[in-house]
Amino acid sequence: MVPPKSIAARFTDRVRPGEFAAVAWATAWFFFILLGYLIVRPVRETMGSIGGTRELQGLMAATFAIMLVAVPVYSALVAALPRRWLVRVVYHFFAACLLAFFLLMRVENELVQVWTARVFFVWVNVFALFATSVFWSVLADLFTSDQGKRLFGLVAAGGTAGAITGSIVTSKLAGVLSTSWLLLIPIVMIEAGLWCAWRLEKRSAAESRQGHQAEKQDKPTGGGLLSGITLIFRSPYLATICVFLFFVQACGTQLYFEQAEIVNATIESKQQRTVLFANLDLGAQVLTLLVQALLSSVILRRFGVAVTLVILPLVYGLGFASLAFSPTLATLMVTMIATRATGYGITVPAREVLFTVVSREEKYKSKSFIDTVVLRGGDAISGQVFGSLRSLGLTFTTLNLAVLPIVGIWAAVAWRLGGQQKRRAEEQPLEKQTTLRTFSTDAD
């Protein structure tokens, strides 16, 4: 058994003098954002499971279409607004949307309820991607690659703690409060996260010799509405990130569709489904927290980004193989928990380290395109393929076996991507590799 002091030392050894306050505010920010998200996600899952595979295909396609419109709008905001104002505009917008959903869900009209549910499903997907993309873009802007390897696992653990709290709150209140009243809690969480983001910005001014650089980094990036897309086409590194994340989302979507069918066939009550999804989230988040706290930074520092990125395809491969021979609710739940814990606990910190070696414009514009359009494109394409194959009569066994070669290709892409990140980090100027960004401890 590892002594408590040794466990505590794993945390303190990662955070160096001058970094504690910034890490604390970043962690608190992520805590509140994921707490709010994990309150609305079980509601989305329930709505998604009601209509079956055909309804999900349409909702995924609608989400992708919305992303195609939202990304240029977001790019325009990035080009025009300083970082601190960009964060405020994005998060205040999402809070206002939640207030609108609260009002619409209280309208006693069946047609309004049906369309509100559909729009809400799409909106939650948009919120989840943009809220986290903006957060990680800011962190990639404020922290170096070395700091990211040491600290992003800790920050992600704080977010997971928020997700666990959100799952507990939802499982306890889902049978007591109506869905509309639950939506008021995420509004408060978003505003609390914004306050933490403001405190992080106040502390992001580095030592006096770095003060001018910090001010420069907070200026608008400029550029055109589609510059984030053109940057991807010009960069083999960013293109490889796109391919890697497309595989992540495509495989995750297949599991998601299988979840919808299996749960729909196993559990009839909407309320019981919401509780099941909340408990599933809770189990996944508890395991994720343990992985983030004890393993993610250790694996990143000791084995590098390439090995870290390959772990998720291996876990998915085991999950699909298990479901091929035992497509039951129990097997599905174990697979979902394992893939989520690996994805959020190990892959997400490594994925965000990938963006510490790119330009500011790529961090905000290209990253937002990747985190939204590419991911939702993976959803839409995978959803259409899954639905078409199921309509042809293919069984879960056949589908899960067929995806295994794709998982192998995904693992090869992950290994190549990790090698590209390592070379880019080594090619950075020496001062960027060895000099850590420090953060002001001023209280104002």
Q: Is the alpha carbon torsion for 418, 420, 423, 429 positive or negative?
A: negative
Which tokens hold the place of 302? 């000791």
Do the Cβ atoms of 76 and 221 come closer than 8 Å?
no
Q: Which residues lie below 8 Å from residue 143, measured CB to CB, with a gap of 6+?
A: 151, 152, 356, 437
* pLDDT, tens digit (0-9, with 9 covering 90-100), for 334-372: 999 999 999 988 998 888 889 888 887 777 777 777 877
Q: Which two tokens stand for residue 58?
A: 């349409």
Q: Give yes or no for a contact between 298 and 350, defined as CB atoms under 8 angstroms apart.
A: no
> What's the half-sphere exposure (Cβ side, CA atoms, 13 Å) at 177?
16
Q: Say which DSSP state 394 is in.
A: -
What residues of the chain score a pLDDT lower than 70? 1-13, 46-54, 204-228, 270-271, 428-444
What does the domain layout of the chain look like in residue ranges? Answer: 17-434
Q: Which residue, 120, 216, 238, 258, is CA-closest to 266?
A: 258
Separation of alpha carbons 313 and 343, rounded Å = 9
Between vectors from CA 259 to CA 254 and to CA 265, what angle results, nearest 5°?
Answer: 130
What's the CA gap between 383 and 217, in Å, rounded? 39
For 104-139, give one letter per residue: b (16+ CB within 10 A) or e: bbeeeeeeeeeebbbbbbbbbbbbbbbbbbbbbbbb
Encode burial over 307-331: b for 16+ CB neighbours within 10 A, e otherwise: ebbbbbbebbbebbbbbbeebeeeb
Cβ 352 vs Cβ 19: under 8 Å: no
Task: Please measure the distance between the N-terminal and C-terminal CA atoms of the chain and give it in whole angstroms.
Answer: 43
Which residue's structure tokens are 């905000």?
364
Confidence (pLDDT) at 59:
82
Residue with tokens 């990211």: 148
Q: Which tokens go with 234?
A: 């010009």
Tell me what pLDDT residue 68 has: 82
Listed residue (196, 147, 148) closest to 348, CA to CA: 148
Give, as one character, the DSSP assignment of residue 16. P
Beta strands in 171-289 (DSSP E): none
Residue 424: phi and psi, rounded to 5, are -65, -40
Name the token pair of 119: 């729009």
What phi, psi does 351 have (nearest 5°)?
A: -60, -40
The architecture (CATH level 2) of 17-434 comes to: Up-down Bundle (1.20)
Q: Is 102 helix (H, G, I), strand (E, B) or coil?
A: helix
pLDDT tens, position by position, 265-322? 888 776 677 778 778 878 888 898 888 878 888 898 889 999 999 999 999 999 999 9
